[in-house]
Amino acid sequence: MDMGVISLFFCIFLSPQLCLSQGRDFPWDSCGRAFCWLPVEKPAQTVQGPVCCLDMLLDCLSNQVCPGSPPGVWVCSTDMILTMPTTFEMSWEGFSGVRVLALPGDVSYAANHGVYFADEQGRVRDIIYKGSEERIRRAAQLDGMVPLVSGPVFFCRRVLERLLKAHVTPPLDGCTYMGMDSGAPPLQISLFLDLLMCLCSDLSESEFVNGERTGCSSPISQQGAVVRSARALLWRILRGITLHMVYVPGGCYDYLTLSGREHIDRLTKKGTERDTLSHIQNTQCVSDGGRVINSVLEGDVRVASGAVIQHCHLQGPVEVHSGCLLSGLEVTSSSHIQQLALTNDHIIQGHHIQLGEIKITVYTVLGAYDDLKVSCDDDGATFLNHRWSDLYSRTGIQPEDLWWSGRSQSLMEARLFPVFQPRGGAVGLEVGVCWLLGGPGALEQWRAVWRLSLREVLSLTDQEGELRWREALFFQVGRRRVMDNLKSQSDRGLLPSFRAAVLGGQHEELLCTLDSIAAGSRENLGVAARCLACIADVLACLAGEGRGGLRSGPAANPAWSHAFSILEKGHLLGGVQALATERAKWLSRPDLLVRAARHYEAAGQVLLRQAVMLSQRFISIGQGEVPPLGEWQDVECPARLDLSGGWSDTPPIAFEHGGAVVNVAVKVDGRRPIGARARRIKEPRLLLVSSSGVQDDAIAMETVCEKLEDLKDHCVPYAPAALLKAVCVCSGLVTYPSRQSLDEQLLQRWGGGVEIHTWSLLPHGSGLGTSSILAGAVLAAVYRCTGRTYDTDSLIHAVLHLEQMLTTGGGWQDQVGGLVGGVKVARSKACLPLRVEVERLPLSDDFLLSLQQHLLLVYTGKTRLARNLLQDTVRRWYSRVPSIVENAGQLVDNAEECARACTEGSLPRLGACLERYWGQKKVMAPGCEPAAVRTMMDALRPLALGQTLAGAGGGGFLYLLTRQPQQGEAVRQVLNNTQGLRDFSVHPVELDMDGISLLKSS
């Protein structure tokens, strides 16, 4: 039972308010019951942090108990953990008075607790505290359990108004600091056995005023007259108010007792985390039933089932047996722990205490089964789980060494634990704990040391020092876990850790840790790239939510160019150091921090490109016969429709998670819409011509490169003819940079220059993979006109390499879709170098014909809104946003299901895959569905088995799998009749089984 005082209630509120009272000292946690850390982590927390009893209680009260209550005050102790059924709801209609919450317990547990005795309507008749079994059974509910006094109490506004009368009325004013400051004698009033007991219907005034009740002030003690007067005043003020009980079947009430055994059982119960906010070097040493909370365990630290380690830094070899609890031990304690022959059920704790100006750590040792309050003379009294007589005979300690004359001779009061040596200052673990457990030491040495009892240790607790120790461990653990997660390429989200470090002022240490990991990841540039992206996240957290401008934006400030150039040259360590040097100049304002974050993301892209470009090893180019000058080499390619799995092919997802995409090569309006041609010419120059649009309305752009300097912008995506220039460099047509001039290179290698033409009949931003497929077509034409041989697999990887050189990034599925004919599934494994493996699906002619008759393309008239789409998605992947990580797995799974649906010839299953795929795209790229597209898709839904925007979304082409074949006219009619749609067009689809096609030389 918890003691409350009237001063808690001297406020009246127009909306429900909550008062929480901190409990008494708790020997198993220096910060008390409320702030006792539990082996629980919040799954969706935005800032990483501990979960303590108070957190769980507040969550339960705020979300399940208090909502809906009328104006008034909720009062609750923090000495317990409440668990409520998810279906629990309280009705407040017509309520007035005081309401208490009661959770079920069995009779044996209730014998040492309080029980409400209520009538069938829930009106409380009596409160039974530590009553007989017979009395307790009278309170049993229909489920056979009894309603425990469980803590939460609600006082409506009308009751609080009455209580205000007691604020300055003697003797109740002695419950408040104002009354005591005015000279009133202090008075303790129990919340349950005085305030609430006054409202119980079975009690008479005489029984209430004069009754002797365990757990509250006695009316026959020296202060009895004051107690009786206070109770009489409460009776006059409160009597007549209804006290109503709400019983919660299926709920659970867990009071934090002084029992060490019960506390260990609570921490190790099923359903809690094995390691919570901890860094364990050898996780195999921790059994499933062991618990590690906010600790660093290095080396061979074995934690048995039923054992707990909290707030410790230990180095192995250490063995922690079942039933043991180690708490607050510093790393220097490890050598002494190693020497101990620990057995089961021991509790060793380090307590931070303050003696005047001195702050030290005191170590205590107890048995899990020890009763702290029972007299040592009782038959059941123990120390270290053995009778006191065993301690006396083993060590020579006498009772007079432990207790002052006239003091309670309980374990709580025994002066067992050393603090200071006469000449040696503060003592460590070895002087007291180790000796008491049978380690080296002597009785004389122990007697010569100034010692404290457990009660004194708890009363002297330096809670600030304790919290600082826990905080230091918490952040140290956070940095180590970040290092582990990055090096192991874990999918654990790191943003909550970053936010915690920033809020705790630990960002410098975190940034140094990330620098170190990046600099040491030369063998895995993917890890190094993610580290730089993580640094960008930390800088954004420092700027603050919504401050400093947009994360996506330019990143070419000259101040960062030196660091970028070092990275581009492949010098990872020097580049990371140069970035850190520049970073230090950008930490003073939110706008500078966000700009610095952009440049770190750009630096990460440099490393990402280098990682992906390792796929060059899968490009195999041979040498054949060089065609004559002037002979055109013509190449045509279909477009592609991605049926499932897109985004999983995008680096770094493709090599960190692994990707799988199903797509199909298609002709649009009966034609292959993408093509290129190339020929050698006599003049030693590059003539680059690109055109787009339908033939009659095609727009052509011509670029002439006569000097090597003309190719310097080949890696600038928006430069004129950037794609064609990148092909010239990537294909080895010319070398850039080089000491040789352009004309010298062309004449020496090819006997003249090269003319390249490209075309696309698709609108810009179609979503049909145009740019990547076009890159493959141009590469093929250039290879052929220079007499070189290749295979499709090499072309796929060459395009991947080219797009990294061009700095547009992107994945591999577009070129797979247009270069390989038919329906296929392509995959990449979760490793570097990134390799794409393509499997053409063996489909029946009937299914291919049916698929062709049920597929339709609809141009939405909307340009794709993809400016920062790739950058935003990669950022969220690097941050391991849980929804993105989960969705990446679902994309791959859906692609494999899509492949099975096609192989088994099921259009309905394929349609279901398309529908899921569109939902998955929207998770990867929020905002990729414009309102007009949503309107279009809603209108077409009755006609479709499934539909999705092609590519990443945002606009371009919509394709749908219709329920009936040949539905072009029906689709056109539906869209014409849908308000708000315009500029759309409907196109038939023809499957292309050949992929990239080489036309007859001309």
Give mean pLDDT, residues 862-884.
Answer: 82
Q: Is 925 helix (H, G, I), strand (E, B) or coil?
A: coil
State the Cα–Cα distance between residues 640 and 620, nearest whole angstrom: 24
Please give the pLDDT value at position 273. 86
Please tell me whether residues 201 and 155 are part of one structural domain: yes
Average the pLDDT over 92-108 and give the result: 93
CA distance 781 to 785: 6
pLDDT of residue 717: 87
- Same-domain check for residues 360 and 396: yes
- pLDDT the model gives residue 185: 85
Domain limit, last residue, from 211, 235, 254? 254
Residues 764 and 824 in one domain: yes
pLDDT at 432: 80
d(CA 368, CA 347): 6
Instruction: Give the Å distances, CA to CA, from 527 to 385, 476, 489, 686.
Output: 51, 21, 7, 39
pLDDT in tens, 491-507: 999 999 999 999 999 99
**Domain stops at, among 225, 254, 283:** 254
Say if residue 234 is in the same domain as residue 348.
no
Tally the C-alpha atoms within 13 A of residue 172's C-alpha that lie toward its C-beta.
25
The Cα-based distances of 349 to 39, 357, 361, 364, 972 in angstroms read 18, 22, 10, 5, 77
What six digits make up the tokens of 906? 């099921």
H/E element holding 596?
A: helix 590-612
Q: Under a CB-based contact definition with an 8 Å cutoff, are residues 850 and 965 in contact?
A: yes
pLDDT at residue 375 greater than cutoff 60: yes
Which CA distances in Å does 515 have to 16, 584, 599, 611? 49, 13, 15, 18
What CA–CA distances, in Å, run from 740 to 299, 420, 500, 736, 737?
A: 58, 81, 55, 9, 9
Our measurement of the distance from residue 644's CA atom to the centroid of its chain's CA atoms, rounded to an integer in Å, reads 27
pLDDT of 810 over the 90 cut: no
User: Which pLDDT score is estimated for 843?
Assistant: 96
Q: Tokens standing for 63?
A: 């979300």
Alpha carbons 520 and 1000: distance in angstroms, whole number: 53
Strand, helix or coil for residue 428:
coil
Which of these, 591, 605, 441, lies nearest to 533 by C-alpha position?
A: 605
- Which of 405-419, 423-437, 528-542, 810-824 has the weakest average pLDDT? 423-437
What is the C-alpha separation between 228 and 978, in angstroms, rounded? Answer: 82
Residue 906 lies in a domain: yes
- Tell me if residue 231 falls in helix, strand or coil: helix
Contacts of 597 (CB under 8 A, 6+ apart): 535, 536, 537, 539, 540, 543, 551
**Model pLDDT for residues 219-261, shown as the tens digit of each residue:** 888 888 999 999 999 999 999 999 999 999 999 999 999 999 9
Q: Which of 538, 532, 537, 540 is CA-nearest to residue 564? A: 532
737 preceded by cis ω (within 30°)? yes
pLDDT of residue 839 exceeding 50: yes
CB 776 within 8 A of CB 996: yes
In a domain, 839, yes or no: no
524 and 426 in one domain?
no
Tokens of 682: 């006599």
Q: Is the pLDDT of residue 14 over 70?
A: no
Are the C-beta atoms of residues 346 and 326 closer than 8 Å to each other?
no
**What's the pLDDT at 264?**
96
861 plus 762 within the same structural domain: no
C-alpha to C-alpha distance for 945 and 701, rounded to whole angstroms: 42
Q: What is the pLDDT of residue 867?
A: 52
pLDDT value of residue 77: 87
Length of the chain equals 1002
Instruction: Tell whether 10 is covered by a domain.
Output: no
Specify if 625 maps to a domain: no
Q: Is the pLDDT of residue 644 over 80?
A: yes
pLDDT at 7 over 50: no
Phi, psi of 348 (to 5 degrees): -115, 125
Residue 623 lies in a domain: no
Residue 8's pLDDT is what?
Answer: 43
Over residues 771-797, mean pLDDT: 97
Q: From edge to edge, which strands make up the β-sheet containing 275-276?
A: 275-276, 291-293, 308-310, 325-327, 346-355, 358-367
- Considering the domain architecture, whether residues 873 and 748 belong to the same structural domain is answered as no
CA 297 – CA 287 distance, rounded (Å): 14
Q: Is the pLDDT of residue 12 over 80?
A: no
Last residue of a domain, one of 617, 646, 674: 617
pLDDT band, residue 169 (cuts 50/70/90): confident
Distance of CA 488 to the CA centre of its chain: 17
Residues 6+ apart with CB under 8 A from 973: none
Rounded CA-CA distance 278/477 in Å is 6
Return the structure tokens found at 510.
Answer: 């975190």
Write out pLDDT tens, residues 673-698: 999 999 999 999 999 999 976 555 66
Asked if 42 contacts 229 with a C-beta cutoff of 8 angstroms, the reply is no
**DSSP-derived pairing of the beta strands 346-355 and 699-705:** unpaired
Angle made by CA atoms 408, 413, 419, in degrees to the nearest 5: 150
Q: How far apart are the C-alpha atoms of 600 and 576, rounded to whole Å?
A: 10
pLDDT per residue over 274-311, tens digit each? 899 999 999 999 999 999 999 999 999 999 999 999 99
Q: Which residues pair with 225 in a beta bridge?
A: none
Whether 3 shows a pLDDT value over 70: the answer reads no
- The percentage of the chain sitting over the pLDDT mark of 70, rounded to a whole number, equals 96
Give the total number of structural domains in the chain. 5
- Give the SS3 label for residue 771: helix
Taking the C-alpha atoms of residue 492 and residue 355, their distance in angstroms, rounded to an integer, is: 43
299 shares a domain with 185: no
Distance CA 614, CA 637 (A): 26
Same domain, 355 and 389: yes
Do residues 249 and 270 share a domain?
A: no
Q: What is the pLDDT of residue 693?
A: 66
Which residue in the block uniquely carries the two structure tokens 């640094």?
A: 535
Angle of CA points 616, 622, 623, to nearest 5°: 140
User: What pLDDT, on the 0 to 100 scale, is given for residue 900?
Assistant: 98
Give the pLDDT confidence score for residue 341 in this predicted structure. 72
DSSP designation for 820 = B
Cβ proximity of 866 and 954 under 8 Å: yes
Task: Say whether 706 sits in a helix, a strand or coil.
Answer: coil
CATH of the domain at 872: 3.30.70.890
CB neighbours of 974 closer than 8 A, spacing ≥ 6? 939, 940, 943
The token duo for 109 is 């547990």
* Residue 182 and residue 301 share a domain: no
Average the pLDDT over 335-339 and give the result. 84
Q: What is the mean pLDDT of residues 369-395?
A: 93
pLDDT digits (tens, 9 = 90+) for 433-443: 888 988 877 89
Computed over every residue of the chain, the mean pLDDT equals: 92
Q: What torsion do the CA atoms of 369, 372, 375, 376 make, to the nearest 10 degrees?
A: 60
Are 101 and 210 found together in one domain?
A: yes
Structural domain includes residue 24: no
Domain interval for residue 99: 33-254
DSSP string, 117-139: EE-TT-BEEEEEES--HHHHHTT
954 is written with which tokens?
Answer: 């945002």
Tell me which residue has tokens 């349609």. Answer: 911
Q: What is the pLDDT of residues 608-628, one digit of tens each?
A: 999 999 999 999 999 999 999
Q: What is the mean pLDDT of residues 393-420?
A: 90
Separation CA 74–CA 13 (nearest Å): 11
Is residue 416 included in any domain, yes or no? yes
CA atoms within 13 A on the CB side of 754: 31
Residue 368 resides in a domain = yes
Predicted structure pTM score: 0.88
**pLDDT single digits (tens) 914-949:** 999 999 999 999 888 989 999 999 999 999 999 999
